[in-house]
Structure 1
């Protein structure tokens, strides 16, 4: 599948969508409709079948399974870290960078309770 952020043509709200890459299914599914704006950045962890995303205007990070179920808040409005703008996965860690300023936050993807600067 191809996962992407886009605007719903009916509601004009932004969502994380999923589409078949081989053309076997013409349906484009809106998987995640909450906590998504035109600024949202996302990444996939294929090992755990998890979508991770950050939304700068909400100053928050989230995760769900690859079907858009079980949405979890990873962090919300951290006082020392403003406007998370990109997110990535490497091995067992989640990395988040800010829109402005310096530093990268890092957390274990299995228990993302602590977000120290990396």
Structure 2
């Protein structure tokens, strides 16, 4: 059985980015559960009970915003932290993502330190500012 406090679901359609997330998370002591397209995400999250979800915003068939709303729309999953990850919005747009319902925002390119710090804060029960 996986330690749910050390598991991160990663929704990312780019295989190279997914590999990078997996390596960084492993380095930080986390297990990454990949989802390349977000299909079946609610069931995946329900089964994994992850520390948080790293959510790419630009996906081929569905928006990360729509997937976030699906997860947050489930009563038993609504408290699962979801981190928006995108290359298509500068860091100063952070509030737009937080206002939409995301719990944190990480711009690409990803800083290893900031990624691990953000995920680590969720695994410790604290919500990043």
Higher strand residue share: 1
Rg bigger for which structure?
1
Structure with bigger helix share is 2
Q: TM-score, normalised by structure 1?
A: 0.28
Which structure has more RCO (C-alpha within 8 Å, separation ≥ 6)? 2
